[in-house]
Chain A
Amino acid sequence: MDNNNTLFTITVFSENHVGLLNQLSIIFTRRCLNIESVSASRCSIPGVHKTTMTCYSDRVTMEKVISQIEKRIDVLKAFLYTDDEIVYQEVALYKVPTCKLLDEEHLEEIIRRHNARILEISRDNTIIEKTGHNDETEALFEELKRYDIRQFVRSGRVAITKSPHELVDRFLAEQEERKMRIGK
């Protein structure tokens, strides 16, 4: 039995309909699972929407969640991954007072070391962007703390599989075949 604290990444391919996110989230809610992050966008296939979510749970539970997600009419296909099966990123933004940054001599070094970049500098504030894994954006957060972080935000995870195509391809091809059979 898996323990309860593996972080899983769930990728859902769906139609882009009103209420889709609610249809997904209720499946987590009824099992009292917390969605750690969520992000949604188009995917490489025209008209197909991709939602990426992360959730701490065990594999047995998550496999049931996946099949209940796939049961939703507007969902084409859903997949479950652990971190080793995907390439993933998050983006974080930090707003710090410009004066504090200028007082310090280490700023440039910090930006370089963390592979971060400055998006905007005004007289009052500087906005820094860092793309990376959770622990990396968290590390920069820890370091910038002493400059008085005024605002912070981190996006949901986006992930791409190590397979050559979108994994929904096969499902779509089968459905195309069905459509031909039905005679449309």
Chain B
Amino acid sequence: MSENISGAEAMIRGLVAEGVERVFGYPGGAIIPVYDKLYDHTDELIHVLTRHEQGAIHAAQGYARVSGKTGVVIVTSGPAATNVITGLSDALMDSTPLVVITGQVSSSLLGSDAFQETDVVGITQPITKWAYQIRNAEEIEEALGRAFYIANSGRPGPVVLDFAKNAQNQLIEWHGYRKCDYIRSYNPSPGIPEGDLRRVADLINAAKKPLIIAGHGVMISGAEDALRALAEKADIPVGSTLLGLSSMNSDHPLFKGMVGMHGNVGQNFNTNRADELVCIGMRFDDRVTGEPDKYAPQAKVVHIDIDASEFDKNIKTSAKIHGDAREALEGLLPMVRENRHTDWVRSFDEANAVEREKVIKNAVSGTDPTAPPHMGEVALKVSLAAGADPVLVTDVGQNQMLSARYFRYSAPRSIITSGGLGTMGFGLPAAIGAKMGAPGRTVCYFGGDGGFQMTMQELGTIMQYGTAVKIIVLNNDFLGNVRQWQAMFFNNRFSQTPMVNPDFNKIADAYGIANERVMTRAELDGAIRRMMDCPGAFLLNVRIDERDMIFPMTPNGFAVDHIILNENEDIFTMNDDGQQ
């Protein structure tokens, strides 16, 4: 049976039909008809009103990444649309499924510089997977269907639907909603030829020193079990990218840590000693490879990815599998021989033992109870106190690297961080979305005083919805990561990195959010315990010594196995017998 409804109503019904339960947004002039219809559907579609459109899109990203569902954002035209730009770019880099609906002036006004008009499709095409303008309500079903199909298939990404106001008000005949599952110009699930699997399996079987590097794609495709099974069967050590963290349990004996600029010593050192790299759902970011010409010189590189444009983009590969990571790993599993690489696996542990002694011990503990705790110390303690399968959401900078390094991961989708774009201000709103997407898990936000203040207004969202996020501000009154580079590479010239900050505890008080201040190591344990015992949101304002730095570090432009261990710039070395 058909009925006549407005385009705005059709859009809301389409969202419900797509299984959307929650949208993040902010109303405004060119989207009022949609918000008016939303008012009739509050029983089936929850709307989260953030304090800034950037907050809405980052919250949707947090929601999408923790749950695997498509995050939905509704904002108005003009400045609201431009306020979601950072989130779109971030979501494209980090393969996050989003459908972002922006209001637009009426079709008749397009191109006239009307009030709050901006060229949304033109601006967003470079930073979205797809962007489309709906000028006629008859297009809604097809456009929305395509948007959801595109956003959350293949390599996920953000989609923009620019919804002209006349189409929102236009009456159309509604016959119900049909999802899209086919687009002629788009193939999100290319079948994997058996020959490709065979070639890779042969390489794995022949390798003496194989190493798996697991990226975000492992979790996007749900390949965690297949990854573990493959690694165990062939006895291959596993490392992960920043976004690939939690694709394997931190405590698994074959999991050897994170790769990249601030990754684990064993991983980075052995990347350049491996004879075979199996890289799954990752894209060889320069923060992962260091100097690309010096990356894995002894290894045949196998690349498994759903995005064909990633092949040979940064690193030349010996073999590739174009397709879904889970399908690929499950296909490889019976072809890969049971194997043992005992000495090779042990060499990671030997290198990591050096790291534990020379880096980690100092980063996660200290002797002076009256001194501020280290960042790594806070991360590890929070992680251990956060109950079953906690989720880490980070901002960007030292807080990100140290919390990522020292948080313990026991379940997939346990880290949400802005990896590709490195968006300061991402963390707090993303944590709100993550908590809403995984209400049963403890969500711990780590941010610095810089990034926290970029989107601090979202404390209002936390207040309004009672979102039980644990907010840990690592506060050193400095832009710490830039300070670290200035200390290491710019002769201690701290140009524009010291910050005069407000009292974050008073700010939390103003929002009615429970909070504590930690000035010394002695106060840390009790404060963390009280934070975790508190049923609602909690802000922990932790004093950090600004001289605290992240190590190990592979500086820009160096090979990944050129690893600085500490402030004295001691370089890690180890010979083939595992001797220092």
Contact = CB atoms under 8 A, between A and B. Distances in A.
A27 to B, nearest CB: 8
Interface in A47-75: 63-64, 67-68, 70-71, 73-75
A74 B185 contact: yes
B181 A73 contact: no
B4 interface: no
Highest count of chain A CB atoms <10 Å: which of B130, B182, B307, B308: B182
A74 B131 CA distance: 10
A14 interface: yes
B188 to A, nearest CB: 10
A41 interface: no
Contact of A179 (B133, B150, B182, B312): B182
B125 A76 contact: no
Range of interface residues on B (Cβ < 8 Å): 20 to 34
Contact of B121 (A19, A30, A71, A75): A19
Contacts of B183: 73
A70 to B, nearest CB: 7
Given A18-B133, A26-B125, A26-B126, A184 B187 contact: no
Contacts of B311: 67
Contact of A67 (B184, B186, B308): B308
A153 to B, nearest CB: 26
Given A67-B309, A70-B308, A15 B187 contact: no
Interface string A8-33: 00000011001100110010001000
Interface in B107-154: 121-122, 125-126, 129-131, 133, 150
A19 B187 CA distance: 21
Interface string A78-107: 000000000000000000000000000000
B121 A73 contact: no
B181 A182 contact: yes
A64 B313 contact: yes
Interface in B275-328: 307-309, 311-313
A15 B185 contact: yes
B321 to A, nearest CB: 16
A182 B185 contact: no
Interface of A: 14-15, 18-19, 22-23, 26, 30, 63-64, 67-68, 70-71, 73-76, 172, 174-175, 178-179, 182, 184
A69 B510 CA distance: 50
Contacts of A67: 308-309, 311, 313
Nearest to A180: B182
Contact of A73 (B133, B186, B309): B186
Contacts of B309: 64, 67-68, 70-71
Contacts of A26: 125-126
A23 to B, nearest CB: 6
A127 to B, nearest CB: 33
B252 to A, nearest CB: 34
A182 B186 contact: no
Given A178-B182, A179-B182, A73 B130 contact: yes
A180 to B, nearest CB: 10
Contact of B184 (A19, A23, A64, A76): A76
Contacts of A63: 312
A179 B121 CA distance: 28
A71 B128 CA distance: 11
Nearest to B135: A18
A19 B119 CA distance: 11
Contacts of B182: 178-179, 182, 184
